[in-house]
Amino acid sequence: MPRILPLDFVRGVAILGILLLNITAFGLPKAAYLNPAWHGMPSASDFWAWAAMDLLAQAKFLTLFAILFGAGLQLLLPRGKRWIQSRLSWLVIFGFLHALLLWEGDILLAWGLTGLVAWRMIRDVPGSRQLFNTGVMLYLVGCAALLVLGLASGPHANSSWLPDAAEVQYETFWRTNGGWEAMANRLDMFGSTLMALAAQYGWQLAGLMMLGAALMRTGWLRGDWSLQHYRRNGVLLILAGMLIEIPSIILQWYCQWDFRWAGFFLQLPREVSAPFQALGYAALCFGWWPQLQRLRLTSAVSAIGRMALSNYLLQTLICTTLFNHFALFNHFNRLQLMALVPAIWLVNVLFSVFWLRFFRQGPVEWLWRRLTAFGLSPEDRPSAGR
């Protein structure tokens, strides 16, 4: 199967963009991820750093990656049921080990579990429009579930939104000391993640995967449409997403991140805007691909996209080493953490470009493929050219 070069680039952009948000989850207490007022009203620099990331990156790159994951499931359909099930099952195992041993913010397990359900719907829905509409419906069900959770939550903030000093001190302790204490806490958060996946996020994730599969069927994610279409709609989609979200950013500041409002109801505009902006970013990449492909940086980002799983895990290794093992957790504010991101991006670039000079796949991608084929009969395995 020939590679879709612009898609590798978009996937690389998504992996790099995810770090813009994950760096906060690595370097600060878990409450800081969504709540900049987790320890009192933020400074001006902290507020503007949060606002910029909330508008441009929060949920957008994860949404983009989920759409691309669904597109990948569509491309995998010719390989058959057993290959896809084996591949996704191993992704679940990778995710569980990642969440238990390294970092509780793992997305791989959620992607694998949801993919085991979504790929069957992708296979069984015959028309692209029907598949797209079903994806939109599932995504909106997840958004509606967020409203229901908000109505059921009550007005009082929990420790995941507004921790006290003792809770922050304990989180700092187990993160920087590791061992069984850290594993027990990561396992506890893992349970909460599974509950959120079943109650709300899984609906959105399945919807995004179906959207990606539908867009792959139509050729939109292959770059088959006109450059003018991608450029025009890219700008319109991004502007639409921003117009949806900007009022919620202002209202969160106005209500001083009150839990009842900012914890649930004012999260909804971000969730609604994310697919618009994610698809807008992808559209601009496709629309300007003739110019982008001439740049050396584009080749480097595409290399990251070809090794997306390896680079995602590499980001975890770098950040957990930096913040947990070197005990720098909770030592930087949001803006200072953002300043570290380009250095980690550089490591991703150098690693990917160097590795692909000698090998066709990233190291984890190679292992994933080998494990996927393990135990399958010869007729269930794709040929070397596929």
- What is the pLDDT at residue 379? 66
pLDDT at residue number 386? 39
pLDDT of residue 121: 95
Cβ-contact 64, 281 below 8 angstroms: yes
Distance of CA 277 to CAs 6, 66, 225, 308, Å?
18, 13, 19, 21
Looking at the DSSP assignment, which residues form a beta bridge with residue 40?
38
Mean pLDDT along residues 295-319:
97
Higher pLDDT, 134 or 380: 134
Mean pLDDT of 78-98: 95
Instruction: Tell me what pLDDT residue 12 has.
Output: 97
Cβ–Cβ under 8 Å, residues 327 and 176: yes
Residue 382 scores a pLDDT above 70: no
Q: Mean of the pLDDT values across residues 17-27?
A: 96
Q: Please tell me whether residue 40 adopts helix, strand or coil conformation.
A: strand
Query: Taking the CB of residue 210, how many other CB atoms lie within 10 A of it?
Result: 29
* Predicted local distance difference test score (pLDDT) of residue 2: 72
CA separation for the pair 103, 186 (Å, rounded): 7
Residue 192 DSSP SS3: helix
**187-213: per-residue pLDDT in tens?**
988 888 888 898 899 999 999 999 999
- DSSP 8-state secondary structure symbol assigned to residue 46: H
pLDDT at 27 over 60: yes
How many Å is the maximal CA-CA distance in the chain? 62
**Lowest mean pLDDT: which of 146-160, 300-314, 356-370?**
146-160
Range picked from 79-83, 90-94, 152-156 for highest mean pLDDT? 90-94
Mean pLDDT of the chain: 93
Q: What average pLDDT does the segment 134-142 reach? A: 97
Q: Is residue 385's pLDDT more than 70?
A: no
DSSP class per residue in 204-241: HHHHHHHHHHHHHHTTGGGT-S-HHHHHHHHHHHHHHH
Q: Which helix (H) or strand (E) holds 80?
A: none
Helix (H, G, I), strand (E, B) or coil at 38: strand
**pLDDT greater than 70 at residue 96:** yes
> What separation in angstroms does the CA of 68 have from each of 74, 190, 212, 330, 355?
10, 24, 6, 33, 23
pLDDT at 3: 84
Letter string b/e over residues 239-251, b meaning 16 or more CB atoms within 10 A of that residue's CB: ebbbebbeebbee
State residue 159's pLDDT score: 82
Query: Please, which pLDDT band fits residue 1 given cuts at 50, 70 and 90?
Result: low
**Span 294-319, average pLDDT:** 97
Distances (CA, A) of 253 to 37, 72, 218, 269: 9, 39, 41, 15
Mean pLDDT of 60-83: 96
Res 384 pLDDT > 50: no
pLDDT band of 383, cuts 50, 70, 90:
low
**For the chain, what percent of residues have pLDDT higher than 70?**
97
Instruction: Kindly state the percentage of the chain with pLDDT values over 90.
Output: 87
